[in-house]
Amino acid sequence: MTNPFQHRLDARSRLEQRRELIPIEGIDFSSNDYLGLAHHDGIRQVLMEALATGVALGSGGSRLLRGNHPEHEDLESFAADFFGSKGALYMATGYLANVALFTTLPERGDVIVMDELIHASAKEGIHASPVKRAKFAHNDAGACEDAIERARANGAKDVWIAVESVYSMDGDVAPLDDVMAIADRHGAYLIVDEAHATGVHGPDGKGLSAQYEGRDNLIALHTCGKALGQAGALVTLPAQMKDYIVNAARSFIYTTAPTPLSAIAVKAALKVVRDEPQRRERLMDLVNHARSLFPSAPGTAQIVPLMVGDDGAAFKLAKHLQAQGFDIRAIRTPTVPEGTARLRLSVTLNATEDNLNALARAYGERTAA
């Protein structure tokens, strides 16, 4: 019997699209640990104290089957207050949260209108949804409104707009004021994935949709595994929507709950975001420095795309820089459109200005050769 998987792997190798897991080493220019909270001593101490009091190591089941611990509810109450929402739901991952949102809230007869560059987990949730969908040109509010008007003309009941606030591969920011105005004008719901904004952008790190929290037509997804340095995802939304997801979202109902320790860590991380604004200030200084070193890079946020174009060339450039001690990764097809391969320079507090200067020199020497 022939092994079909080796054939498939060989095909990926020929296309220079084969991936592999590699050890963590080198200066961090690839993680999403923007504020350096994955190694925060204060959060570690909070977890040690929780362990000493006998907090459960595991949840023991899904939230509906004895997996709903006081720590989960405490986090959700704190998060609702922190973000200014009417409700918050803690889920195991951002991926599962996106699947829950898009497969549960829209109903047959609705339409999801999504930015064409929204990231993979949102796309997976949208593609799994039973409703029709339409794309609009990236960050083009006019195209978004045109798509809604076409959907209404074709008999759409409710419309759900799906965007990221900070785009994970392009480092640019959605025109949320315009999109929220469109949602209000057309009676649509707006789902904002704040994965790369939570903890970093918006008032007190609350994300770029913070000024709209509490509205009945806003749902925000706050990933906990990026700037918060922990795990899981918080969805902030109207209380009735939260209750409905608990009752109907299969990716919530049939998933083991995050550990109580994870909930404690996320709450502690939110407190750090609230109480240590100097971390965001230092990060923005580093972002500005990085963008001065790479002035042609698109975007404005802490994700700095160094455009290469060809998948193979991007991979080889990343390998060269990794060999120089810089942990920077190539982003290739199908994560980004063909011909737009890049190095994704992620600016975090785990690197310094001197580290950025050294990376820029190594990058310049290689690309000039």
pLDDT of the residue at 16 = 75
3 is catalytic: no
What are the strands of the beta sheet with 111-115, ordered from one edge?
A: 88-91, 233-236, 218-223, 189-193, 159-164, 111-115, 132-136
Q: Which residues are CB-contacts of 127 (< 8 A; sequence separation ≥ 6)?
A: 133
pTM for this entry: 0.95
Pick the catalytic residue from 170, 172, 193, 327. Answer: 193
List the catalytic residue out of 28, 33, 71, 164.
164
Q: Which entry of 226, 267, 311, 327 is annotated as an active-site residue?
A: 226
Q: Is 168 a catalytic residue?
A: yes
Task: Give tens-digit pLDDT for 35-70.
Answer: 999 999 999 999 999 999 999 999 999 999 999 999
Tell me if residue 119 is catalytic: yes
pLDDT at 1 over 70: no
CA-to-CA distance for 133 and 191, rounded, in angstroms? 14
Q: Are strands 341-346 and 329-331 parallel, antiparallel or unpaired?
A: antiparallel
In the annotation, is 271 catalytic?
no
Type of residue numbered 137: A
Domains along the chain with CATH numbers: 4-30+277-368 (3.90.1150.10), 42-274 (3.40.640.10)
Note the pLDDT of residue 334: 87
Distance separating alpha carbons of residues 174 and 194, to the nearest angstrom = 10
Report the Cα–Cα distance between both ends of the chain, in Å, rounded.
Answer: 48
Other Cβ atoms within 10 Å of 267 Cβ, number? 23
Known catalytic residue at 32: yes
